[in-house]
Amino acid sequence: MIYFDNAATSFPKPESVYNEIFKAMREYGANPGRSGHRLALEASRGIFETRNRLSKFFNAGNPMNIVFTFNCTESLNLGIKGILRPGDHVITTSMEHNSVLRPIKYLEKMGVENTIVKADKMGGINSKDIENAIKPNTKLIVTTHVSNLTGTIMPVGEIGEIAKRYGIYYLLDGAQSAGVYDIDVERMNIDLLAFPGHKGLLGPQGTGGLYIRDGIELDGILQGGTGSASYSLEQPEIKPDKYESGTLNAPGIVGLGEGIRYIEERKIEDIRTYEEELTSHFIEEILKIEGVRVYGPLDVNSQGAVVSINIGNIDSSEVAYILNQEYDIAVRPGLHCAPLAHETIGTFEQGTVRFSFSFFNTHREIEYGIKALGNIAREI
Ligand SMILES: Cc1ncc(COP(=O)(O)O)c(C=O)c1O
């Protein structure tokens, strides 16, 4: 099958990721941080190495500033619910995933105010609109880095600068950017960075994390065993234990470490350039097909490897069904857990057919995808 659904989760992963997961499960599958025996220590070492690698990758300083979660959704929930209190105000955008919008809507019922800044038709956000939405009680700004619908790259540097100037926390959703676009939490003034391990970072599902800047105390969303301070009935206050209760996904986390190692070896800028080549060729060619509508900036300087399209007025699910059944191509139709983003670009009723590429897609696959769309547009 030709896999163009990398925005949902990347597939395949590097061989070294598969190998390390197997190795962890077969050779040192003990519970990390729970005992002092050799296997438990080896599992703990594997987790620390990934934490360390991630902290360097995002310029996060102390590795303990990285907290492991099971996906980006959990990271976003921890960041959003951990910081906001009744009476606070949060600013976000209409291009967000439900993993941002739903926690914010949940908190609305508890007295946390919100402003959702509307993007333009290309999915772009004007950082001035964010600045204009600031109120005296604004405590947090949450935005995505790259839209999972249109691929639009947000002005995160400008937003981080605004947040810093006003003394507001900035939480970045790196779900569609981590591993492909540079993220430097210091340079970009990011206070909290939510990331999945299983997309651009090339780790397995069941991995994710949250960077928490030094000095920020969040309310944890889970309390339980940490293997530390076991005499106490209170949750430890130290990072990462405060936020990591229960057995960690050790095989997944060491696999994630290998994903990052792979990106470092292949160089993130080369990965990005390759994805840009695929994306820009795909956009250029499908724009020539009669009946195909392409959404978003249509320019890889402002767009990641995510391309949303429609063919005439056909339901996006039908196009995805044909691609799957007749061409063995995997894409994602519908609303992509981003209803406001679809409202913003005018596709709430029809949805879109989303193509999302990775470093493992080939030029030949892209050509095949273009041909398939040409055929479908002609036949329908
Ligand atoms: C922009 C964005 N944010 C958050 C998420 C949630 O990520 P996860 O599936 O790791 O929970 C996604 C998933 O596709 C996403 O695209």
Across the range 150-154, mean pLDDT stands at 98
Residue 351: its pLDDT value, please?
A: 98
pLDDT by residue (tens digit) across 238-266? 999 999 999 999 999 999 999 999 999 99
pLDDT in tens, 158-211: 999 999 999 999 999 999 999 999 999 999 999 999 999 999 999 999 999 999
Q: Alpha-carbon distance 182 to 311, whole Å? A: 34
Kindly report, residue by residue over 316-361, the tens digit of the pLDDT: 999 999 999 999 999 999 999 999 999 999 999 999 999 999 999 9
Handedness of CA 69, 71, 74, 78 (dihedral sign): positive
Contacts of 328 (CB under 8 A, 6+ apart): 1, 2
Return the pLDDT at 224: 96
pLDDT, the chain, mean: 97
User: What is the pLDDT, as a whole number, of residue 380?
Assistant: 83
Amino acid at 64: M
Any atom of ligand 1 within 6 Å of the Cβ of 148: yes
Q: What is the pLDDT of residue 241?
A: 96
Say how many Å lie between the CA of residue 99 and the centre of ligand 1.
7
Question: Does the pTM exceed 0.85?
Answer: yes
**Phi, psi for 229 (deg, rounded to 5):** 45, 45
Ligand 1 within 6 A of 200 CB?
no
The answer to whether the CB of 307 falls within 8 A of the CB of 292 is: no
* Cα 331 to ligand 1 centroid, rounded to whole Å: 16
155 preceded by cis ω (within 30°)?
A: no
Query: Looking at residue 33, what is its pLDDT?
Result: 86
5 lines ligand 1 (CB under 6 A): no
Rounded CA separation 230/365 (Å): 53
Gap from CA of 333 to ligand 1 centroid (Å): 16
Q: Pairing relation of β-strands 169-173 and 138-144?
A: parallel
Q: What is the pLDDT of residue 277?
A: 98
Q: What integer pLDDT is reported at residue 21 of this predicted model?
A: 98
* Catalytic residue of the set 91, 194, 337, 353: 337
72 is catalytic: no
Task: Convert the pLDDT of each residue in 289-325 to its tens digit.
Answer: 999 999 999 999 999 999 999 999 999 999 999 999 9
Range 19-25 average pLDDT? 98
Share of the chain above pLDDT 70, in %: 100
Residue 34 pLDDT exceeds 90? no
List 144's β-bridge partners, or say none: 173
Q: CA-CA distance, 136 to 213, in Å (whole number)?
A: 22
User: Residue 216 C-alpha to ligand 1 middle, in angstroms?
Assistant: 23
Mutate to test the pocket of ligand 1, among 72, 76, 176 (most ligand atoms within 8 A of CB): 72
